[in-house]
Amino acid sequence: MQHRPAPDWRPLLAVYWVTSFVEGLGVAEIWAFLPNRLAEVGVAAPDVQHLVGLLGSLFFLTGLPLIPLWGVWADKYSRKAVVIRSALVEAVVFGVIAASQAPWQLVVGMLMVGFQLGNSGVMMAAIRDVTPRHRLGLALGIFAASSPLGFGAGPALGAFMIDGLHLTSGAVFALAAVLSVAVAVLLAVGSTEVRPERVPTGNTLRLAFGAVRGVTSDPIVRWLFVVYGAVFIGRQMSGGYMALLIHDVEHTSLEVAGSVGLVLGAATIVGAAFSPVGGWVADRLGFRAVLVGSIGGIAIAFALMPLGTTVAWLAVTYSIAIALQAVVGAMVSGLLATETPPERRSATLNLIYLPLYLGGIAGPAIGAIVVTDGLRAVFYTAAATLAVATVLAIVFVRRTGGAANREGRAASVPS
C-alpha cells in the first residue's frame, strides 16, 4: 500500500497558531475583564472576588466528561471538524457573555466554555504527525507561544476598547465572538485534514475509556499528568485574580481597565516570545531538564509577584511566569508526542487537558477560599503549589531516566 506524503508542517502550524492565538485572546479577556463584566451586570464590589473564583471553576466543569471523547472523535472521523467545532462554540460563548444582562446569564456563558475546549491536543497530534522529529521541539515551542501571545493581545485590545474608545466590556467580548467566526472560516478553507497513522475502530465510549486506561497504566504519562495537574492548580488558582491585583496595586476601580491591558498584554507578549527558545533548548538538552527548570521558575515568579508595589514589577514577574508556562506546555506535549504509541497519541495528547480541567476546577475554587485571607495570599499559595510541582517533576525525571536517554537518542536522529 502506497502512503500519501504528509502535508507540509509549516502551513498547518501557521493556521493552528492563529486558531490558538484567537482562542487565547478571548479566554484572556474573560480573565482580565470578568470583574468588569460582573460589575456591569450589577454584582456588588465585595462579591466580585468570590464570584471570580467560582466562575473560574465553572469554566472547566462542563467540559470535564467530554475530555476523552474529543480525541477519539477526531481520530475516528475528522481532526479538522473537531477543531472547527471549537471555534464555532467559542463564538457562541463570547456572544453570550457579551449579551448578558444579569449574573445568571454570565453563569450560562461560563458553563458553555467546557464545550469549546478539547481542540489543542488534537492540533498538537496533527502537528506531531506532519513535523520531522528534529524540528518537533521548535514546532511545539512556536505553537505553545500562540496561546500566551493571545493572552497578551486580548487584555491589551480590551483595555484600549474600554479606556480608549469608552466601550463596555460587553463590546470586547462581542469582538472576540466575531474573531472566532473568522477562525472557523480560516480552518475550513485553510487547513488540511491530517489522519492518524492508525485510525481507531470500535465503540467510541470503549475507545475513550481505553485512552483513560492508557494514561493510568503508562508510568511516564501518569507522572506527566500528575506534574502538569499540580502546575495548573497553581496557575489557575491565581489566573482570575491577576486583574484584581493590578487594580489593587494602582488603586483603580472596576469601572475602568486601568493597567490590566499593559500588564496582562505587553508582559504576556514579551514573555511568550521566549517560548520557541525553550523548544530550541529542549531539542538540545532534552525535554525533561527544561521541564524541571521551567516549573521552578514559575514558582519563584509567583512568590515574587505579590511583593511588588508597582505596575512595572507585576509586568516583569508576570512575563516570566507566562513565558515559562508556555515552555512547560511545550515540554509536556513534546514528551507525550515522542513517547506515546501512534495508536494512542492523539487521544493521549487530547487528554493532556485533563490536568488542565481538574486544575481549572480546583485552582479557582481554592483561590476563592484563600482570598478571604487577602488577595496576596492567593499568589503565595499558588507559589507553594508550584514548588510542590517542581519536586514532583524532579522525581519524574529520576524515575524515567532510561526514557530520557531514549529521548536524547531520538532527538539526534533527523526524520
Domain range summary for the chain, segments of one domain joined by +: 9-190+211-411
CA distance 124 to 17: 10
CA distance 151 to 322: 9
Q: What is the pLDDT of residues 212-245, one digit of tens each?
A: 776 677 778 888 888 998 998 998 888 778 888 8
> Residue 368: in which H helix or E strand, if any?
helix 353-370
CA distance 71 to 396: 25
Confidence (pLDDT) at 344:
62
* pLDDT greater than 50 at residue 308: yes
Confidence (pLDDT) at 350:
63
Residue type for 13, please?
A: L
Confidence (pLDDT) at 178:
96
CA distance 279 to 298: 17
* pLDDT greater than 60 at residue 5: no
Residue type for 246, please?
A: I
Residue type for 85, please?
A: R
CA distance 210 to 28: 33
Mean pLDDT of the chain: 81
Q: What is the pLDDT of residues 168-216, one digit of tens each?
A: 888 999 999 999 999 999 999 988 888 877 777 777 777 777 767 766 7
CA distance 359 to 227: 11
SS3 call for 1: coil
In the numeric block, which cell numbers belong to residue 138?
521548535
Q: What pTM was computed for the model?
A: 0.67
Q: What is the pLDDT of residues 336-361, one digit of tens each?
A: 777 766 666 666 666 776 777 778 78
Confidence (pLDDT) at 84:
94
More confidently predicted of 368 and 303: 303
Contact between residue 16 and residue 150 where contact means Cβ atoms under 8 Å apart? no
Q: What is the pLDDT of residues 97-138, one digit of tens each?
A: 999 988 888 888 888 887 887 787 788 878 888 888 777 777
Q: What is the pLDDT of residues 362-392, one digit of tens each?
A: 888 888 888 888 889 999 999 999 999 999 9
Confidence (pLDDT) at 406:
45
Check if CATH label 1.20.140.10 holds for domain 9-190+211-411.
no
